[in-house]
């Protein structure tokens, strides 16, 4: 009996090797962060979203094609019923091609899931936290209680999960908290990544009011901290520096001031099975249709088509006041 031919690995038309998939498990979230969502959001009907089994099958297919890192995202992934079961299903691939399973969360529900995630094979999580001030946190998120987040982080540490804090830098809103956040992360043993706000989806505020270029933030931080570039990578677009005063790492994700597309190694799958080749483009390939009607062969064909269509770079910009977002799709639909 002859063995089947090996499935080709994932490379796009520009020679970039794809090894990282961000898999959205829900478009729903219990917060309404002002830069991410409108206050009144419409979400997909449950019948349109992929089942847990389909999400796990997609993960298996990507691992078979050479993907080594998978991140579960949302919306808020911990809002998806059965998320611990899904983590276990995907986590079984760790050591069989999959090197790392991670998760991005707002941590409001993390205390209830941290131990199960660790047992499933997750070893680190990214926590979105734009302010530790209770009033300001509630303003940014519209509904949030920062104590839930901090309790979730503490529970994750007890469970053995490493934490990286993601902080969106917002002009005239949380920029005075960036240096204190860096110090707090250092004291707690967390890395910190700063992110420029991205023009995705219509929100209730004008993004020009909140866009804070991170090159200026870095210059200001260097007046207080000794920052040394290093080669550490976590699979995503962040570029890291070591902070001498805390011993921790500081990352920068700069889709607007410094394009990072040349080294893109990522694909994103929405909760309804659309494979988006770039966060900054609306183009997609329908994996749900392939999965439900054609099985693995059709799925591989759809993935190959996506690789052919993956663009060289995104074209994000914060245009003038009142301008439409670069992409109509909200971040919560695609997954962070």
185 is in an annotated binding site: no
Alpha carbon distance 283, 48 (integer Å)? 19
CB neighbourhood size of 97 (10 A):
14
198 is in an annotated binding site: yes
312 is in an annotated binding site: no
Which residue, chain included where needed, has tokens 């070591």? 242
47 is in an annotated binding site: no
104 is in an annotated binding site: yes
33 is in an annotated binding site: yes
Alpha carbon distance 237, 33 (integer Å)? 22
CA atoms within 13 A of residue 167's CA, in its CB half-sphere: 31
31 is in an annotated binding site: no
SS (H, E, C) 117-155: HHHHCCCEEEEECCCCCHHHHHHHHCCCCHHHHHHHHHH
- 235, burial (CB in 10 Å: exposed 0-12, middle 13-18, buried 19+): middle
The closest alpha carbon to 274, from 300, 311, 308, 306, belongs to 306
75 is in an annotated binding site: yes
Name 281's Cβ contacts closer than 8 Å, sequence gap at least 6.
Answer: 311, 314, 327
264 is in an annotated binding site: yes
Inter-helix orientation angle 134-141/146-159, to 10°: 100
Alpha carbon distance 78, 82 (integer Å)? 9
Four-residue CA torsion sign, 196, 266, 325, 205: negative
The closest alpha carbon to 288, from 279, 276, 280, 278, belongs to 276
- Tallying the residues shown for the chain, one arrives at 336
Alpha carbon distance 124, 83 (integer Å)? 16
214 is in an annotated binding site: no
Known binding-site residue numbers = 22, 29, 33, 35-36, 71, 75, 104, 128, 164, 198, 261, 264, 266-268, 278
Positions at the binding site for S-adenosyl-L-methionine: 35, 75, 128, 198
The binding site for [4Fe-4S] cluster consists of 29, 33, 36, 261, 264, 278
Binding residues for GTP: 22, 71, 104, 164, 266-268
């Amino acid at each position: 009996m002859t063995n089947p031919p090996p499935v080709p690995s994932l490379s796009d038309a520009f020679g970039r090797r794809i090894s990282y998939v961000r898999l959205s498990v829900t478009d729903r979230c219990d917060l309404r962060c002002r830069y991410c969502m409108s206050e009144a959001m419409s979400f997909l009907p449950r019948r349109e979203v992929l089942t847990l089994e389909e999400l796990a099958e997609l993960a298996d297919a990507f691992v078979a094609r050479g993907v080594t890192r998978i991140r579960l995202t949302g919306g808020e992934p911990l809002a998806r019923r059965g998320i611990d079961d899904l983590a276990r299903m995907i986590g079984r691939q760790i050591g069989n091609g999959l090197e790392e399973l991670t998760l991005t969360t707002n941590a409001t529900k993390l205390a209830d899931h941290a131990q199960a995630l660790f047992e499933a094979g997750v070893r680190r999580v990214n926590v979105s936290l734009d302010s530790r001030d209770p009033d300001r946190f509630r303003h940014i998120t519209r509904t949030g209680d920062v104590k839930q987040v901090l309790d979730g982080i503490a529970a994750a540490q007890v469970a053995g999960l490493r934490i990286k804090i993601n902080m969106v830098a917002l002009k005239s809103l949380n920029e005075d908290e960036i240096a204190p956040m860096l110090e707090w992360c250092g004291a707690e043993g967390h890395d910190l990544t700063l992110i420029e706000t991205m023009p995705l989806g219509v929100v209730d505020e004008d993004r020009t009011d909140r866009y804070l270029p991170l090159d200026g933030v870095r210059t200001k931080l260097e007046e207080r901290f000794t920052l040394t570039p290093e080669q550490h990578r976590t699979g995503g677009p962040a570029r890291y520096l070591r902070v001498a005063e805390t011993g921790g790492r500081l990352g920068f994700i700069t889709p607007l001031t410094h394009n990072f597309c040349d080294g893109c190694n990522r694909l994103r799958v929405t909760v309804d099975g659309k494979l988006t080749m770039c966060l900054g483009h609306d183009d997609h390939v329908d994996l749900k249709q392939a999965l439900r009607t054609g099985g693995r062969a059709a799925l591989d064909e759809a993935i190959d088509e996506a690789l052919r269509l993956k663009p060289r770079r995104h074209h994000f910009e914060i245009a003038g006041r009142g301008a439409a977002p670069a992409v109509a799709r909200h971040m919560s639909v695609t997954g962070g």
